Amino acid sequence: MKDTYESPLASRYASREMLYIFSPDKKFTTWRRLWIALARAEKELGLPITQGQIDELEREKDHINYDLAQEKERELRHDVMAHIHAYGAQCPSAMPILHLGATSCYVGDNTDIILMKEGLTLLRDKLVRVLAALGRFARQYKAMPTLGYTHYQAAQLVTVGKRATLWMYELLQDLEELEYRLSHLRLLGCKGTTGTQASFLELFEGDQEKVWQLDRRIAREMGFAPDQVQPVSGQTYTRKVDAAVLSTLAGIAQSAHKFATDLRLLCHMKEVEEPFEAHQVGSSAMPYKRNPMRSERICALARYVIADGLNPAMTACLQWFERTLDDSANKRIAVSEAFLATDAILNLYENVAANLVVHPKVIEKHVLEELPFMATENILMDAVKRGGDRQALHERIRTHALAAGQRVKGEGKDNDLLERIAADPAFGLSRQEVFRHLDPAAYIGCCPQQVERFLDQQVRPVLDRYPDALQGTGAEITV
C-alpha cells in the first residue's frame, strides 16, 4: 500500500532481523509462549491443568488468527483480552485455564523484556563487528602520520590508525554498558494486578512457596535464570528499565555520531572517505560530488536516538503508585523505534568502517604543509646545543613563523619557514641539518605501539568472546 504512511525506519533503514524482533508475529507468539509457560508451571505446581490442554496451546502457538483478534479488539477495546479470545477459539479445551491468575502485564511486560533482550543481543553482535572492522583499519594504518587537531586547528601529528582507536574505545565503553544491561534484565514474572501476587496465592491455597516457584519456573522456560525476576513490582516492571536501556542505545548513537562527524570532516579534506559505489550519484545538480551520505545518515539517526532517549525517562518519573496507562502508547513507539534506529546506525557504521578509503598522498601533503611549524622545537634544540641563545632563537623562530604564515594565508604560497631558518646565520645550521627534521615519523610518538597494545589487550578479548558475531557476511544498507 502506497497511500498509507509507513515508518522509514522499517521501509528504508533497519535490518530484517531487528524488524522481526519488534514485529506483530514475534510479539504475539511470545505472548502465547508466556501463556504456555504459565499453564505448564501451574500444572507442575498442582493446579488442575491437563497435558492435553498444554499440548493444544503448543500446537496453535505460532498460528496467530489476526482477523479474529482485531474483531475482538474492536468489540472489547482491550488488546490482551482480544488475543485471549482469539487463542481460545483455536484451543477450546484450554480456554478455561488460559491466562489463569494473570493480568495483562504478565504477557505485555514480560514480552517487552524478552524483545529488548533479543534486540540488545543483536546490537551487541553488530557492535562487535564494527570493532573488528575498525581494528583491521587501525592496524593497517597504525604508523601512517597524519595531522592531529585540537579546536580543529593543526596540532601535533598522530597516525590514521591511532585516531581509529579513539572511535573504538568509545564503542568498547558502549559494549560494556550493553553487556551490563543484558546481564541485569529481569522479567516481571507473575505479580498480579498490583504486584502482590494475591491471585496466585489464592490459586495455590495460601502456599507461598508455590507462588515463588511459579516465577522461577516461568523465567527458566523463557530463557532467563530463575533469579532473573523482579523481586518486587507494581502491576508493571519499573519503567526505569526502559530508561536505562534507551540510555545505552543513546550512548551508542553518541559514539557513532562522533565517528561520522570526524569522517565527514576527513572527507572534506579528501584524506579519508566513506565507500562510494561505481554508479552512486552524489548530487542531482553537481555530477562531480561525492557527498558522505552514509556518515550524514548516521548523524541524522543518531540525533533521533539521543533525543528519543528522553521519552522513557519522562515516562518513568510520571508513573503513579502501582501503575498508570500513560506509558503504553509512548513506550510502544519510543522503545521499538530506538532499537530500529540504533540497528540502522550500526548497519551503516559497519558498512563504512569496513570499506574506508584512505588517500595517503593527500594526507602527506597536508602533513608537510604544517610540519615546518612542528619541527621548530627540535631545530631550536639543535641550535642551542651548538651554542645558540635559546630565548633569542625562540624570538627569531616566532618572527620567521609569522612571516611564513602570512605567506601561506595571505598570498596562498608554500610554507617557506624552514628555508628562512636555514638562511638565518643566528641558528648556525646548514639547510640539510634543518631539513632533516622533516621526517613525519619522528613526530608520532608512541602511536604505533599504542595501537598494537590497544588492539591486543582491549579489543582482541572482546572479539574472542563473541566469535559467532564475526561470522556474518557484512552489513547491507538499502539506500
| pLDDT at residue 282 in the model | 52
* Spatial CA neighbour of 417 closest among 432, 404, 436: 404
Q: Which three cell numbers stand for residue 87?
A: 487463542
In this structure, which topology does domain 105-195+236-359 adopt according to CATH? Answer: Fumarase C; Chain A, domain 2 (1.20.200)
* Spatial CA neighbour of 345 closest among 117, 127, 119, 173: 127
Where do the structural domains in the chain lie, given as residue ranges?
A: 105-195+236-359, 362-443
Q: At what angle do helices 51-60 and 24-44 cross, to 10 degrees?
A: 170
| pLDDT at residue 288 in the model | 47
362-443: CATH class: mainly alpha
Whether the Cβ atoms of residue 239 and residue 331 lie closer than 8 Å to each other? yes
Q: What gap in Å lies between CA 457 and CA 322, rounded to an integer? A: 47
Could you list the mean pLDDT of each consecutive 10-residue stretch along the chain, which spans 479 residues? 88 95 98 98 98 98 96 95 97 97 96 98 98 98 97 94 98 98 96 96 97 96 95 96 98 98 97 75 52 95 97 95 92 96 97 96 94 88 90 92 88 88 90 90 96 98 96 70
Q: What gap in Å lies between CA 75 and CA 89, rounded to an integer? A: 16
CA 317 to chain centre: 25
Of 11, 93, 283, 430, catalytic: 283
* Spatial CA neighbour of 125 closest among 470, 476, 455: 470
Annotation says 283 is catalytic: yes
Q: What gap in Å lies between CA 307 and CA 291, rounded to an integer? A: 25
| pLDDT at residue 409 in the model | 87
* Secondary structure class of 16 (helix, strand, coil): helix
- pTM for the full model? 0.92
Q: What gap in Å lies between CA 456 and CA 453, rounded to an integer? A: 5
Tell me the β-bridge partners of 145.
159
Annotation says 93 is catalytic: no
Of 151, 183, 279, 284, catalytic: 151
Please state, in angstroms and as integers, the Cα–Cα distance from residue 104 to each residue in 38, 196, 317, following that order.
13, 15, 22
